[in-house]
Every structure is written in structure tokens, then in C-alpha cells.
Amino acid sequence: MKKIISILAITLASFAQGDYQDTSNVKIELVSVWTTSGDILVQTNPKHNIQGLSCTSDYWLKLSETAVGYDGTLSMLLSAQATQATVTVRAYDDQGTDFCKLGGLSG
């Protein structure tokens, strides 16, 4: 029974995030902050893929200050930008907004 509940919880958590799109082999071009909210805006070069997502802007990815792993993700973003390392970014639909959420970063 515990296994079933665990599998159900993982499945529901993945659905809660919604649709996403990974874009590989990009560099972090610009990292900006909204001082009113603490949210981070990220530009990649080339631009991240939003095909099939409802967010309409491929100009920025948004990392919310309240996101789990915010500090670690911000650290990785700044390191990738400074070293111009090639990374993979994950864009999630942020229902009702132009910008996609930054849902993952790997290098």
C-alpha cells in the first residue's frame, strides 16, 4: 500500500508541474533580477525552446524566489554565465503568463 501511495504522489507531483520543454547546448547570456519580487529572469543563447507550451515568450525564463532549490539554481546560473559553459535548461508552462518557468538546469 505504501508503494502505491508513493507512486501516486510522484505521479501527481509530475502532473502539477505541467508541460515542459528541454533545450540543450545553450549558454546563459543574461541573468537579471526583479527587485520587487526577487524573481530571476534568464536569457539563453540560442533562445530556449517553447514549442508546444502555452507560455508565449522565448526571451526570458523565470526563476521564482520561492522555487525549491532557488539558491542552488541561482548559483549554477551565475557560474554557467561566468564560464560560458554549455547547459541544458528546462522550461515549464507558467499558466497565465508570458514567461516560462525555469524548471531545471544541468551542465
Instruction: Give pLDDT, residue 17.
Output: 53
Does CATH number 3.30.230.10 belong to domain 18-106? no
- What residue segments make up the domains of the chain, in order of their start? 18-106
Phi-psi region of 81 (alpha: psi -120 to 50; beta: other; left: phi over 0): alpha
SS (H, E, C) 13-78: HHHHHCCEEEEEEEEEEEEEECCCCCCEEEEEECCCCCCCCCCCEEEEEEECCCCCCHHHHHHHHH
Alpha carbons within 13 angstroms on the beta-carbon side of residue 39 total: 14
Strand partners, 54: none
* CA–CA distance, 79 with 75 (Å, rounded to integer): 6
* pLDDT by position in tens, the chain (length 107): 444 443 333 333 444 457 999 999 999 999 999 999 899 999 999 999 988 898 888 889 999 999 999 999 999 999 999 999 999 999 998 877 889 999 999 98
